């Protein structure tokens, strides 16, 4: 049995009731880490358009914060689901064309080595293009696109 088959068997026959609390605990630990937790108030304020003082007063502001957070989470969830579905669809094609991909990747490595050595200097590599998250509207209107940009930024490529 190959490693991939063994992993698939563990996933499909594993205990879901045990996996769910482990996944929740891992998510909470990553959320409560010192590099993420200080960012939460700023994100909450930005995606809702509400300051911390407004939330302390209660009322409609709490609902606005929840709407902004929901849209933000929906934004990065859409990015992760789309990437997962795309990679899942490409897997069989990659396996079928492994030889061709290996040759093309070898050529890409050689060309990148030429770029790195300075032998070839294409102009497009010297241009810079940035996504400007500060151009997004604050509040719930900007929560979904901000979540999508966040998802793209945190995707481990």
Return per-residue pLDDT of the chain as tens, 157 residues. 777 777 777 777 777 778 888 888 988 888 788 888 888 888 788 888 888 777 677 666 778 888 888 988 899 899 989 988 888 888 888 888 999 999 999 999 999 999 889 888 888 777 887 766 566 677 788 888 888 888 888 776 6
Cα dist from 78 to 19, 41, 81, 89, whole Å: 23, 23, 5, 16
Residue 39 φ then ψ, to 5°: -80, -20
The rounded distance, in Å, linking the Cα atoms of 42 and 52 is 9
Cα dist from 30 to 14, 24, 48, 68, 116, whole Å: 23, 10, 23, 21, 36
With tokens 């793209």, the residue in question is 152
Residue 2 placed within a domain: no
The rounded distance, in Å, linking the Cα atoms of 47 and 51 is 10
Residue 136 placed within a domain: yes
Q: Please give the pLDDT value at position 65.
A: 81
| 44 and 37 Cβ atoms separated by less than 8 Å | no
Against a cut of 0.95, is the pTM above it? no
For residue 14, how many other CB atoms are within 10 A of its CB? 10
Residue 10 placed within a domain: no
- Structural domain including 82 reads 33-153
* Closest among 65, 5, 6 to 41, alpha carbons compared: 65
Distance of CA 127 to the CA centre of its chain: 24
Residue 103 placed within a domain: yes
Residue 51 placed within a domain: yes
With tokens 């040759």, the residue in question is 103
Residue 53 placed within a domain: yes
| 68 and 139 Cβ atoms separated by less than 8 Å | yes
> What is the distance between the terminal CA atoms of the chain, rounded to a whole angstrom?
29
Residue 135 placed within a domain: yes
Residue 110 placed within a domain: yes
Q: Please give the pLDDT value at position 105.
A: 95
What is the tally of structural domains in the chain? 1
Three-state DSSP class for 65?
Answer: helix
Q: Please give the pLDDT value at position 61.
A: 75
């Amino acid at each position: 049995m190959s490693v991939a088959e063994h992993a698939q068997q563990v996933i499909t026959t594993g205990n879901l009731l045990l996996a769910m609390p482990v996944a929740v605990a891992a998510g909470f630990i990553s959320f409560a880490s010192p590099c993420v937790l200080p960012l939460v108030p700023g994100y909450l304020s930005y995606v809702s358009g509400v300051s911390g003082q407004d939330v302390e007063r209660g009322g409609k502001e709490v609902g606005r914060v929840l709407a902004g957070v929901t849209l933000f989470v929906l934004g990065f969830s859409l990015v992760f689901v789309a990437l997962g579905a795309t990679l899942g669809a490409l897997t069989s094609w990659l396996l079928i064309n492994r030889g061709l991909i290996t040759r093309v990747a070898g050529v890409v490595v050689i060309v990148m080595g030429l770029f790195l050595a300075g032998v070839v200097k294409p102009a497009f590599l010297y241009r810079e293009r940035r996504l400007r998250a500060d151009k997004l509207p604050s509040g719930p209107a900007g929560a979904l696109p901000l979540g999508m940009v966040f998802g793209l930024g945190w995707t481990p490529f």
